[in-house]
Amino acid sequence: MKKLIYAGLLLLVISPMVNLSCTHEPLSKLDPAGGIIELPGNTGRSCSPDSVYFANDIYPLMQSTCAMGGCHDNITREEGVDLTTYANIAKHVIPGNALRSELYKEIIRTDKDRMPPPPMAPWTTEQINKLKTWINQGAKNNSCDACDTTRFTYAAAIKPIIQTKCQGCHNPGFLGGNIDLSTYQGLKAIAINGKLYGSVTWSNGYSPMPRSMKLPACEIIQIKKWIDNGSLNN
């Protein structure tokens, strides 16, 4: 009986630590292809507004909110779950049935064991709905070309890229590199000091961002044009 109590106490002490370790460990090196077959940007297929695509929407979001170092990457595998590739993510969904899919159930939890765990921000309703639609549409490993280099305003082009691909690791609840990209001001700061362009082009002297999958060339052009145009809140 005493042993059981000790074990219980130990668990109580350890469990908050598990969550904390998730927020502060450096990124692990991932396979640059990330298990993706076709990178969005040169698939030759345009995006249908009614569809949700794995490589465009789901994978980057999972990379920045679930599969980071110390959590569900291929090294830590928290709770035995590795969410770094399509094949591994697919193990936790039932194609066509979001409501019965483990991944969806974890994301919609609102209790203290929710995913991503506090202090990380929960997924937004829009992001949750994307996951739901993607699973209900068959949870396919699909991709399409949405990017247009002639569009490079903050609202139409830049903010959506940052929200899907960066913000999960760069917000007040998870301040990767002490950089907050949840606000325009935060993004502007790294646009001006050169770190934004240096990191997304994986240039020497900068940490490659995102490390798991380089942004499609078209999105890098949009970012460059936006910076060259004064990194405006437009």
Q: Is 222 in the site for ligand HEC (CB under 6 A)?
A: no
Q: Which of residues 72-91 bind ligand HEC (CB under 6 A)?
A: none
CB 86 within 8 A of CB 59: yes
The only residue of 22, 179, 213, 227 in contact with ligand HEC, by rule CB under 6 A: 179
Omega within 30 of 0 (cis) for the link into 40: no
Residue of 31, 22, 76, 83 lying closest to 58 (CA atoms): 83
Residue of 37, 40, 57, 220 lying closest to 134 (CA atoms): 57
Q: Is 182 in the site for ligand HEC (CB under 6 A)?
A: no
Q: Between 63 and 101, whose beta carbon lies closer to ligand HEC?
A: 63
Phi, psi of 66 (to 5 degrees): -130, -40
Q: How far is the CB of 120 from ligand HEC (least distance, A)?
A: 11
Contacts with ligand HEC by CB under 6 A: the residue count is 23
Q: Is 171 in the site for ligand HEC (CB under 6 A)?
A: no
CB 233 within 8 A of CB 154: yes
Report which residue type is found at 166: C
Q: Which of residues 42-71 bind ligand HEC (CB under 6 A)?
A: 63-64, 68
Please identify, among the stretches 112-120, 129-137, 139-147, 163-171, the one whose residues bind ligand HEC according to the rule CB under 6 A: 163-171
Q: How far is the CB of 132 from ligand HEC (least distance, A)?
A: 22
Rg (CA), the chain: 19
> Looking at the chain, how many residues does it have?
234
Using a 10 angstrom Cβ sphere, with 0-12 exposed, 13-18 middle and 19 or more buried, the burial of residue 13 is: exposed
Q: Which of residues 8-37 bind ligand HEC (CB under 6 A)?
A: 26-27
Q: Which of residues 191-210 bind ligand HEC (CB under 6 A)?
A: 195-196, 199-200, 206-207, 209-210
List contacts with ligand HEC (CB under 6 A).
26-27, 63-64, 68, 165-166, 168-170, 176-177, 179, 190, 195-196, 199-200, 206-207, 209-210, 215
